[in-house]
């Protein structure tokens, strides 16, 4: 009896390990790499390059996804609506999606910004508007600081860029611990994560409605694979210390900048990050939208495109567009 009791935890752990290995392969089979793998200096990054049409009216645009994401997320939001108007580069950040992790520098936003700059060069893009959603906002800001000559403008969507009170969810800290994290990501994280994908993605969109095809089109399950989960956890765990160091430098950013945020974001503190960016980057425009959550890329896509157009020099009253968006969101909320 005692032996059976002692063997039970081992049997459960083994079952979790086998399930994780099998399910990770199944996730990759369901959501294979749709990008091209390009060596950017000792490791490969996956990206999709969409070339501009003959009547293009916008400069190239680089899209940087947030935590737990991959290139499919921003591509599903923007590709169809911007097709032909600009050269677009959708990428998996180092260690996410199908991009390899590379060296330890890629555990930090500036390391990932440098990798994106190399990818741009290889993909033939000299200068671009950089779009950063959520965690991608910290990378976009770092990109502008480290590579101003490559930055034609910045669009921040519900960014995470400034020091915030409190910490992070416990599982990020556990997953990054060398030995325990290895076990956690290979036994616990994937089955637990699968049970939360539906509720978790709805929470990210709240109070707005998540698109019905979001999970099948953007493949959030890819982050549950063990290595991707650890990379994501390490990124998130490192972010607070990083923005404490880098935030005082934001005032050195001098490029057309728009920040779009909602007042009901349940993921990041919009009062800290978005208002902080608007304060730190001289000449930037803050577009504040009531009843908008953490996904302006999906919920106010048209407004985000107007912001890209304004960054490129076209005249737009983004504040008026924001009020129209608010009226629509209020109506949706009532229904």
CATH label of the domain that carries residue 300: 3.40.50.1820
Per-residue pLDDT for 6 more than 80?
Answer: no
The token pair at 26 is: 């199944």
Q: What is the predicted pLDDT for the residue at 49?
A: 98
Evaluate whether residue 3 is within a structural domain: no
- C-alpha 255/C-alpha 278 separation (Å) is 13
Tell me the mean pLDDT in the region 168-183.
84
Contacts of 65 (CB under 8 A, 6+ apart): 71, 73, 74, 91, 92, 93, 96, 133, 136
- C-alpha 222/C-alpha 69 separation (Å) is 8
Evaluate whether residue 236 is within a structural domain: no
pLDDT band at 252 (very low <50, low <70, confident <90, very high): very high
Evaluate whether residue 80 is within a structural domain: yes
> If DSSP codes are grouped into helix, strand and coil, which group holds residue 124?
coil
- C-alpha 279/C-alpha 90 separation (Å) is 29
Q: What is the predicted pLDDT for the residue at 15?
A: 67
- C-alpha 296/C-alpha 303 separation (Å) is 9
β-strands 44-50, 88-91 pairing:
antiparallel
In sequence order, what DSSP letters do the residues of 161-185 get, joined into one string?
-S--SS---HHHHHHHSHHHHHHHH
Per-residue pLDDT for 8 more than 60?
Answer: no
Evaluate whether residue 210 is within a structural domain: no
Tell me the mean pLDDT in the region 201-229.
97
Number of domains in the chain: 1
Number of H-type helices and E-type strands within the chain: 14, 8
Tell me the mean pLDDT in the region 290-307.
98
> If DSSP codes are grouped into helix, strand and coil, which group holds residue 160?
coil
Which position has the higher pLDDT, 333 or 162? Answer: 162
Q: What is the predicted pLDDT for the residue at 175?
A: 86
Evaluate whether residue 223 is within a structural domain: no
Domain of 267? 27-166+241-334
Evaluate whether residue 253 is within a structural domain: yes
Q: What is the predicted pLDDT for the residue at 12?
A: 57
Q: What is the predicted pLDDT for the residue at 4?
A: 46
Tell me the mean pLDDT in the region 34-45.
97
The total number of residues written for the chain in this structure:
335
> If DSSP codes are grouped into helix, strand and coil, which group holds residue 53?
coil
Q: Please give the helix or strand (H or E) that residue 305 lies within, else none.
A: helix 301-311
Per-residue pLDDT for 222 more than 50?
Answer: yes
Q: What is the predicted pLDDT for the residue at 5?
A: 43
Evaluate whether residue 181 is within a structural domain: no
> If DSSP codes are grouped into helix, strand and coil, which group holds residue 293?
coil
Strand partners, 260: 157, 287
Q: What is the predicted pLDDT for the residue at 231?
A: 96
Evaluate whether residue 151 is within a structural domain: yes
């Amino acid at each position: 009896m005692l032996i059976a009791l002692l063997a039970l935890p081992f049997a459960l752990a083994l079952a979790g390990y086998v399930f994780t290995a099998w399910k990770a392969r199944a996730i990759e089979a369901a959501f294979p790499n749709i990008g091209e793998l390009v060596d950017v200096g000792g490791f490969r990054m996956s990206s999709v390059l969409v070339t501009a049409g003959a009547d293009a009216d916008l400069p190239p645009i680089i899209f940087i996804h947030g935590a737990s994401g991959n290139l499919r997320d921003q591509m599903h939001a923007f590709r169809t609506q911007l097709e032909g108007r600009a050269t677009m580069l959708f990428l998996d950040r180092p260690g996410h999606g199908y991009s390899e992790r590379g060296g330890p520098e890629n555990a930090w936003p500036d390391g990932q910004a440098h990798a994106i700059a190399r990818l741009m060069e290889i993909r033939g893009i000299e200068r671009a508007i950089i779009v950063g959603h959520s965690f991608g906002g910290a990378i976009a800001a770092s990109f502008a600081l480290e590579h101003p000559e490559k930055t034609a403008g910045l669009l921040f969507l519900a960014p995470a860029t400034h020091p915030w009170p409190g910490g992070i969810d416990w599982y990020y800290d556990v997953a990054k611990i060398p030995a325990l994290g290895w076990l956690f990501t290979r036994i616990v994280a994937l089955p637990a994560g699968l049970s939360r994908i539906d509720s978790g993605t709805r929470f990210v969109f709240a109070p707005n409605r998540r698109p019905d095809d979001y999970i099948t089109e953007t493949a959030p399950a890819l982050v549950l694979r063990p290595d991707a989960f650890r990379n994501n956890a390490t990124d998130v765990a490192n972010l607070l210390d990083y923005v404490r160091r880098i935030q005082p430098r934001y005032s050195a950013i001098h490029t057309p900048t728009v920040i779009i945020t909602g007042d009901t974001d349940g993921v990041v503190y919009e009062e800290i990050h978005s208002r902080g960016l608007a304060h730190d980057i001289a000449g930037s425009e803050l577009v504040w939208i009531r009843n908008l959550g953490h996904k302006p890329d999906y919920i106010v896509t048209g407004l985000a495109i107007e912001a890209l157009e304004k960054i490129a020099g076209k005249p737009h009253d983004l504040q008026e567009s924001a009020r129209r968006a608010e009226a629509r969101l209020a109506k949706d909320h009532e229904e």
